[in-house]
Amino acid sequence: MRKNLAAYRYIDEKVLPLYIPASHLRSIEDTFTQEIAAPTGFAAVAKRAIDVVASLFVLVFGLPFYLLLALLIKLTSHGPVLYVQDRIGENQRPFKMYKFRTMTNGNNDRAHRVFARDFINGQCKGNGNGNNGSNGNIFKIVDDPRVTSIGRFLRKTSLDELPQFFNVLKGEMSIVGPRPPLNYEIDHYQEWHKRRLTVRPGLTGLWQVSGRSTVPFDEMVMLDLYYIDTWSLLLDVKIMVRTLPVMLSGFGGY
């Protein structure tokens, strides 16, 4: 079987579940449904301290940049600057997640609900429009007419996620962790998928630095489970360091 090169670039080859055929997935579900404890003791305190200090730094010193992006959003489309969305956090607790608005105001989510269902169930074949050196499929709604001109730039560079530092400061998210899903996405989860919800969700994670929208859903979950099972402060630092080049290049962002 050909390996997922997006994941292989950043993850040790020994993570065999990332490379097994989908037909063998059921036989290893027990491996992915075991309970793994979140960071505790000093590790948990240190992770939270990094979250708080880094969030305060970005929010305080990045304020002029936040204001510039807010102005660009207001000048290029009607509607609020921020988009507040219900997401599912640690242990399936709901919370309000903040983003810079990247779509025209007043859109419904019907198209995304259909896409999410097909993506999670492995029925989304991707559109084959890889860029930035990607020659694989893209598992994302590309050229979405609902996205504004400035919104395309914000999404490609992930700058639309910057307001989530408020969520990090509030303790609803961490800087590094699995991305928080929407409630209707969980309706299509298999049981082993749900273990990615046992830790605090993050702004960035292994998925973001391993191909983003070029990675199929099951492999995205496996990346999250690898992160949970092998978590360390050093791993968090490595992911944060790798995130900036991905943002600047726009690889896998749509």
Q: How confident is the model at residue 208 (pLDDT cuts 50, 70, 90)?
A: confident
Question: Is the pLDDT reported for residue 236 higher than 50?
Answer: yes
pLDDT at res. 4? 36
Q: How confident is the model at residue 126 (pLDDT cuts 50, 70, 90)?
A: low
As given in the structure block, the two tokens for residue 166 are 């408020």
Sign for the CA dihedral angle at 230, 250, 213, 191 comes to positive
Within 10 angstroms of residue 253's Cβ, the number of other Cβ atoms is 22
Question: Is the pLDDT reported for residue 183 higher than 90?
Answer: yes
The model's pLDDT over 48-58, given as tens digits with 9 standing for 90+, comes to 999 999 999 99
Range 146-160 average pLDDT:
89
pLDDT at res. 108? 77
Of 232, 230, 219, the C-alpha closest to 193 is: 219
- Asked whether 198 and 38 are in contact (CB, 8 A), the reply is yes
The position carrying tokens 């997640």 is 97
Task: Read off φ and ψ for residue 33, nearest 5 degrees.
Answer: -105, 5
Q: Which of 8-22, 127-141, 157-171, 197-211 is predicted least confidently?
A: 8-22
Longest dimension (CA), the chain: 53
Write down the domain spans for the chain: 41-248
